[in-house]
Amino acid sequence: MKRYPKLIRFFGIMLCFLILDFKTAYAIEGGSDALNSPFVVPVNTIVSSSMYGGCSGALLSPYIVATAGHCILDSSGLISKEIYVGEAGQENSNNFIKWNRVTSIEITSSYQGGADGKVGKDDIVFLLLANPLKYSTPVRLASEAEILNFKTSKSQLKILGYGIVSDKGETSIKPKSMNASFSPITALDSNAAYASSANSDACSGDSGGPVLSISASEIIVVGITTGIRKSVNCTKAETDGSFLTLFSLISRYTNLAFAAATKNTEKMVANNILSIRKLEESIAALEEENSGLLDANADFNDENEKLKIDVEDLKTAFLENQNNIIDLEKQIEELQIQIELLKEQIPTTITCIKGKLTKKVTAVKPACPSGYKKK
């Protein structure tokens, strides 16, 4: 078992970082489909004007992602000014400029990219995002005691990434996962460890992906994939046929995680203060508008009172008119009776005949003389 560190010293730990000429970063050889996994995110970094680097990342909170330090460097070895993070478990894309942009980075002051293709010490970084990502399954960081227990018991681990899927360079835009165990082999970097797998291995582009301990009750982030003993694009098998993956122990960098969380809190507080100020401005505007409405309402009430008085006057006038109408109707009835009586007193003329004789009689109640008949 002691032969592994010697082999690794001889060959070096190659960076698990895929530099692309505007192509997509892709995932784990011999792994399982991890599409829609809530734990792994694609991380793309602008390396130069014509290239970007594709890596993986571990989603720790809606605003914080952990990845490998070498994943965020530009072609000059400095931290890139343009780093983008996609949604967890989603397909990788060339159109990553529309992804969530990194606004702040927490990295050790002593970090330097490794020389001759080797992984540098403290190869881990925490990214603070401009906007929150969907965070459906909470995770927590492993403690130092848990790390020691995992290593002693050779605990089962799950590694996820967006790297190439074969040593020949075959690619997939979907994330992959593989099962491994915590290796008892001691890494050269005291802040790193190895995961061992019998039939799967990490490839270029898997750097920064989460190394997880998954139980029925919780998900624990043990570390971040940082390097492999490289064949062509993927891990070179050891003499016993197993594959080793180097990862940074996240428990050694809780200060950086705390700093990122603090910045995130400060950012949220600043955003909340800004929101409060905007709300206060909105409230002031609403109060001013409300004051105007109150004044208008007072004017309306005054006008309404006047209208009420006018309505009461109209009601009174209406009642008076109704009474007048009733009186007039009574007078009309009396006049109609008088008219009928007068009609009875108006004389009328009738014609009476007796043989060839004709006589007209005019009276209130005319009647023909004796011997005459009414014509």
Determine the Cα–Cα distance for residues 251 and 273; give it in Å rounded to an integer.
Answer: 33
Q: What confidence score (pLDDT) does residue 100 get?
A: 93
d(CA 300, CA 348): 70
Give yes or no for a contact between 215 and 267, defined as CB atoms under 8 angstroms apart.
no
Q: What is the pLDDT of residue 99?
A: 93
According to DSSP, the β-strands at 210-214 and 100-107 are unpaired
pLDDT given at position 264: 75
Amino acid at 21: D
Q: How far is CA 109 from CA 25, 82, 112, in A?
A: 28, 20, 9
Cα(227)–Cα(249) distance, rounded to whole angstroms? 13
The pLDDT tens digits of the residues spanning 274-297 come to 888 888 888 888 888 888 888 888
pLDDT of residue 72: 93
Question: Which run of H or of E encompasses 262?
Answer: helix 254-345
Q: In the CATH scheme, what architecture does the domain 3-255 have?
A: Beta Barrel (2.40)
Which residues make beta-bridge pairs with 180? 157
The single-letter code of the amino acid at 113 is G
**pTM across the whole model:** 0.67
| Residue 254 and residue 108 in contact, taking contact as beta carbons nearer than 8 Å | no
Q: What is the CA radius of gyration of the chain?
A: 49
What is the C-alpha separation between 191 and 218, in angstroms, rounded?
24
Model pLDDT, residue 254 = 86
Please answer whether residues 164 and 26 qualify as being in contact, where contact means their C-beta atoms are separated by less than 8 angstroms.
Answer: yes
Write down the pLDDT at residue 195. 96
Any idea what DSSP says for residue 224? E
Q: How far is CA 96 from CA 41, 83, 84, 104, in A?
A: 12, 10, 7, 18
- How far apart CA 221 and CA 210 sit, in angstroms, is 7
Q: What residue spans in the chain does CATH classification 2.40.10.10 cover?
A: 3-255
DSSP collapsed to 3 states, 315-340: HHHHHHHHHHHHHHHHHHHHHHHHHH
> What pLDDT does residue 299 have?
86
Per the listing, tokens 């004709």 go with: 358
Q: Hey, which bits of 47-86 come out as E strands?
A: 52-59, 64-67, 83-85
pLDDT tens, position by position, 90-138: 998 878 888 999 999 999 888 877 655 667 788 999 999 999 999 999 9
What per-residue confidence (pLDDT) applies to 57?
97
Instruction: Please tell me the predicted confidence (pLDDT) of residue 19.
Output: 39
CB contact at 8 A, 45 and 17: no
Distance of alpha carbon 56 from alpha carbon 334, whole angstroms: 108
> Can you read off the two tokens belonging to residue 219?
């998900």
Residuewise pLDDT in 10s, the chain (375 residues): 222 233 333 233 333 444 333 333 335 777 899 999 999 999 999 999 888 889 999 999 999 999 999 999 998 889 999 999 999 999 988 788 889 999 999 998 888 776 556 677 889 999 999 999 999 999 999 999 999 999 999 999 999 999 888 888 888 889 999 999 999 999 888 899 999 999 888 998 999 999 999 999 999 999 999 988 777 788 888 999 999 999 999 998 988 888 777 877 777 777 778 888 888 888 888 888 888 888 888 888 888 888 888 888 888 888 888 888 888 888 888 888 888 787 777 888 889 988 888 888 888 788 898 888 887
Q: Which two tokens stand for residue 44?
A: 């793309």
What are the residues facing 359 on neighbouring strands? 352
